[in-house]
Structure 1
Amino acid sequence: MSSSFSGTFGISTAYHLAKRGYTNITCIDKHPYPSLDSAGYDLNKIIRTEYDEPLYAQMALEAIGAWREPLWKDVFHETGWLVTTCGNKDASEHLRKSYENLKNNNGIAGVDFVDTPEDLIRYVPQLKSARDLSNWKGLWNKQAGWAHAHDAMKLLGDEARKLGVKFVSGAQGTMTSLDVSDKKLNGIKVASGNTIKASQYILCTGAASPALLPELSPHLWSKCWTLAHIELTETEVEEYRNMPVVDNHELGFFFEPDPKTRWLKICNATQGYQSKTAFNPDGTSYSVPRYASDHPEDGIPAEAEEAINEFINTILPQFAGRPLLGARICWCTDTADQHFLISRHDVYPELLLGTGDSGHAFKFLPTIGSYIADALVGNERGTKKEWQLRERHWRKDVTRPGDVVKDLKDVGLGDKD
């Protein structure tokens, strides 16, 4: 059995398959696990339970229960989080539906509405210096927090390896395409020139999915988001230790600082960016990743730097003017309706797709592999109709502000036409 890409979906799937007694599992990737190109290769990711879609509300409550297990005690921090909007109608409706879904699943313990500056500062005292909180409204959720993303994936990968999973990187682990002849799947071509053969193949290839399988380009849209960090002093780290995650729909979000590096991560809010540099035979273009690992000189667009600095000036004005460190882009792959793509390929029955994270998958690291393992054997739990390979109608994700997805080449990254 072969699983491609050592990211969130791939590592979790390999782990759960091994736990179920599968043997001869090989997980391939260009990089050693956790993959440098994975969206989960990051300082931290939000772990939360708010969803306006009942399916993911249930799954998120299941996942946060898993995060509380002893395995994750050093990487999961249940600090709570504050999720707000400055008044966007769609975002407000999203939060209302999310609250109702938590209520319907007995998950509202520790969840409160917040609509005054006093409420905000009561839950997050570190916002006391923020400018103009008067129009912030949203939810406080004690059952939330963050995970050290890189370390969590490394931890689960180590557990998978203990269970016998083989991880292959370098040229022998770099998938280039499917090996197909006479409409029959013979294996996975890799950069070394070899073909990896298996009885079953699971492609957990994240943002690289459309590039590796162009037939998926109508179903997936590879996009990236921007992040940066500022460095705090030891005293400041102590002041912000155990601080809840703060997320504002229109501005962005930030986490407590990492005690090892003293870096505090900030992400600006945006619809993301694309890189439409691949073409179908009919001439239509689609987006494929321009990974930071291949282009470390890229950094982030100037407009993203401005947005992050504006976030700092508004929410953390005491840190205004500090240099942005480790600024980079992070790739994900959207589906039209933000449902995952976990489905058998429509031509090759031995090929299972596990992709379409849609920017909200990392919180399911402890559990998502169990769903993909169920899909492998056709169990109903893993073969939900929402996840099947099918025509879906593209719609806006209301948790992301704006309406325009710009191309990287138009904001100074990559080659112009």
Structure 2
Amino acid sequence: MALSKSSSILIIGAGTFGISTAYHLAKRGYTNVLCIDRHPWPSLDSAGYDLNKIIRTEYEEELYTELALEALRAWRQPMWNGIFHETGKLTTTSGHPDAAQNLKESYENLVKAGAAESVDFIESRDQIVKHCPQLAGAVNIEEWKGLWNSEAGWTHAKKALEKMAAESEKMGVRFVSGPGGTMTGLQLDNKQILVGIKVASGEVIKADRYILSTGAASPGLLPDILSTQVWSKCWTLAHIALTDEEIEQWKGIPVVDNMELGFTFEPDPETKLMKICNAFPGYQFREGRYTDPETGKTTTFSIPRYASDHPEDGIPAEAADGIKRFIAAVMPQFSDRPLLEARVCWCTDSPDSHYLIDNHPQHSNMLLATGDSGHAFKMLPIIGDYIADALEGSERGLKREWKYGGRKEIRNVTRPGNEVKDLRDVRPLNAKL
């Protein structure tokens, strides 16, 4: 069926990809857009449901350098005033050769894009302290080397999603949550043609076109095609509380990202919290099972163990230790602070860290929009425009790099370490913090 502005479009998932797509479809004049999720917008399970996310332009992949520069221009628009903070970003390595090569390639791509004027090499303690005086007491920073990028910063992630979802509603997008918004499977007719989406209420939601933008939940929802194509993983985060005086002292710091230790942001004056993430390859939760009805072969895969379902989990003790190591090295004056609101954040990786935006291999009326690979939120203002292009069949949205299947594994050197542990093997999850 040809797509028209009055065609019914069902978006499954109210996170970064889903909300951005709803917004851009409405901007294009589509009048019958429904977005469902088990949670009200923005979804609690979305990786974007967070205090802050990094906005950067340094990528070893030329494609994402260009996209990140486009997204940065969008973040600077008045819509995002007070939500996007262009504080700059310090990206450093303590000496790992892969990390150093990644930074070199990232810089070269910015040079090719004509956007390297904002970037300086950092090779000494004095240069680091020049851009972030608050790091004067950091341990061994004279060993850090990397990049300073003034055209970078952070966004208040939850507020950004709320803003975009609210604007989508104003333009006529409908959102449904709860059992009526919780996808449980596909409804196929006797010819195995997709005719609707089953939801937990027992209903079947029918539409002309479907967009699956369910992030880490995607492999479990479509295990027949996605359990071997994308890999759901989680990372850990926590916060420390600062006094009003400390908030003022650390106000406006750049994003501080050490590729071996982790990263942090300026503190949030509303909550008085400062978010910190440790650097590691992520955790999995290999509780997903799919048995091929034709071969009888069973595939075991990772599915999310969401913090919204298990708030008692917290984070593994080893992750808490990693966050504490970052604090001890970067801001040792806060080493005695308890870690607050610690939790996991789920993403879904593709083998090569490219997004997966392509038509379902069996159902031409469903578009897949997932595989964020841990670097999607910075594209929030623009990614829905590309997904809308893909829905309309435009090559701009159906990029070769984003196609379904045939991906080759490429190690992501921005995540130190090789072993992706299972959450079941790193208990207790509710470690004393």
TM-score where L is the length of structure 2: 0.95
Correspondences of 1:16-415 after superposition (within 5 Å):
16-181=24-189, 182-214=191-223, 215-281=225-291, 282-412=297-427
8 Å contact from structure 2 (residues 227, 299) kept in 1? no
Structure 2: distance between partners of 1:33 and 1:283: 35
Q: CA deviation at 1:204?
A: 0.5
| C-alpha distance after superposition, 1:50-98 (max 9, x if no partner) | 0010000000000000000000011000000000111111111111111
Q: CA deviation at 1:283?
A: 2.4
Unaligned runs of 5+ in 1: none
| C-alpha distance after superposition, 1:267-322 (max 9, x if no partner) | 00000000000112122310000000000000000000111111111111000111
8 Å contact from structure 2 (residues 57, 152) kept in 1? yes
Unaligned runs of 5+ in 2: 1-8, 292-296
Structure 1: distance between partners of 2:113 and 2:411: 26
Q: Report the AA paired with residue 185 of structure 2.
A: S
Q: CA deviation at 1:21?
A: 0.4
Moved over 2 A (4+): none
Q: CA deviation at 1:108?
A: 1.1
Structure 1: distance between partners of 2:243 and 2:26: 43
Q: CA deviation at 1:358?
A: 0.1
State the SS of the aligned residue for 1:379.
coil
Q: Report the AA paired with residue 326 of structure 2.
A: F
Q: CA deviation at 1:248?
A: 0.3
Relative to structure 1, the CA distance from residue 264 to residue 407 in structure 2 (aligned partners, 3 Å threshold; closer, same or farther) is same
Structure 2: distance between partners of 1:208 and 1:262: 32
State the SS of the aligned residue for 1:367.
helix
Relative to structure 1, the CA distance from residue 130 to residue 330 in structure 2 (aligned partners, 3 Å threshold; closer, same or farther) is same
| C-alpha distance after superposition, 1:315-337 (max 9, x if no partner) | 11000111100000000000000
Alignment root-mean-square deviation, CA: 0.8
Q: Report the AA paired with residue 411 of structure 1.
A: V
Structure 2: distance between partners of 1:262 and 1:321: 17
8 Å contact from structure 2 (residues 198, 204) kept in 1? yes
State the SS of the aligned residue for 2:298.
coil
State the SS of the aligned residue for 2:198.
strand
Q: Report the AA paired with residue 5 of structure 1.
A: G
8 Å contact from structure 2 (residues 317, 428) kept in 1? no
State the SS of the aligned residue for 2:142.
coil
Structure 2: distance between partners of 1:271 and 1:36: 23
Q: Report the AA paired with residue 335 of structure 1.
A: S
Report sequence identity in percent: 59
Name whichever of 386-395 and 337-346 sits farther off.
Answer: 386-395
Structure 1: distance between partners of 2:12 and 2:82: 27
Q: Report the AA paired with residue 40 of structure 1.
A: G
Q: Report the AA paired with residue 248 of structure 2.
A: E
Structure 2: distance between partners of 1:168 and 1:119: 50
Structure 2: distance between partners of 1:179 and 1:205: 17
Structure 1: distance between partners of 2:289 and 2:37: 24
Q: CA deviation at 1:413?
A: 5.6
Q: Report the AA paired with residue 64 of structure 1.
A: L
Structure 2: distance between partners of 1:161 and 1:74: 21
State the SS of the aligned residue for 1:187.
strand
Give the match for residue 3 of structure 2.
Answer: none
Q: Report the AA paired with residue 211 of structure 2.
A: I
Q: Report the AA paired with residue 156 of structure 1.
A: M
Q: CA deviation at 1:388?
A: 0.6
| C-alpha distance after superposition, 1:251-273 (max 9, x if no partner) | 00000000001100000000000
Structure 2: distance between partners of 1:107 and 1:173: 42
Structure 1: distance between partners of 2:148 and 2:86: 13
Structure 2: distance between partners of 1:135 and 1:189: 55
8 Å contact from structure 2 (residues 369, 387) kept in 1? yes
Count of aligned pairs between the two proteins: 414
Structure 2: distance between partners of 1:296 and 1:375: 36
8 Å contact from structure 2 (residues 10, 36) kept in 1? yes
